[in-house]
Amino acid sequence: MCLAIPGQVKEIFEQNGLRMGRVDFGGITKEVCLAYLPEIAIGDYTIVHVGFAISKIDEESALETLNTFREMGLFEEEFGVEPAPVETRH
């Protein structure tokens, strides 16, 4: 019930005065209400719960978190693994 799925906004349109969008969940596309995210744009990622986009996903923050893990040296210290920089792994 509280789980929400990340997806990418592919299309934005209005339906009966409601801001709606088509969101792609890794190949499955569903109609989603975008009324709670007035700023979201096509191409953005969002978390969707019971047909509503509730939060935009901040890619910069995600990469920052991953880089923090690497800066802590967690991978190298324990296992001698030399991870590639985040940017080159996508």
Partner 1 sequence: MKYLEEFRDAKGVQGLLAEIRRLVTRPWNLMEVCGGQTHSIIRNGIDQLLPQEIRLIHGPGCPVCVTPLVAIDKALAIASLPNVTFCSFGDMLRVPGSDKDLFRVKSEGGDIRIVYSPLDALKIAQENPERQVVFFAIGFETTAPANAMAVDLAKKRGIKNFSVLVSHVLVPPAIAAIMSSPVNRVQAFLAAGHVCSVMGFWEYPPLAERFHVPIVITGFEPLDVLAGILAAVRQLENGEARVENAYSRVVNFEGNLPAQALLKQVFTIEDRAWRGIGNIPQSGWKLSPAYREYDAETRFSVGEIHTVESPLCHSGEVLQGVIQPTECPAFGRQCTPRTPLGATMVSSEGACAAYYNYGRFAPVSITTAEEPACAT
Q: Evaluate whether 45 touches 8 at the Cβ level (below 8 Å).
A: yes
Q: Which is nearer to partner 1, 14 or 78 (CB)?
A: 78
Q: Evaluate whether 54 touches 36 at the Cβ level (below 8 Å).
A: yes
Shortest Å, Cβ 2 to partner 1: 5
Among 22, 24, 29, 33, contact with partner 1 (rule: CB under 8 A): 33
CA dist., res. 30 & res. 28, Å (int): 7
* Residues counted in the chain: 90
Helix runs in 1-90, H state only: 59-71, 74-79
Q: Does 12 bind partner 1 (CB under 8 A)?
A: no
Q: Which is nearer to partner 1, 27 or 90 (CB)?
A: 90
Which helix (H) or strand (E) covers residue 86, if one does?
Answer: none
Among 38, 43, 71, 84, contact with partner 1 (rule: CB under 8 A): 38
Among 6, 10, 11, 13, contact with partner 1 (rule: CB under 8 A): 6
Among 10, 13, 35, 42, contact with partner 1 (rule: CB under 8 A): 35
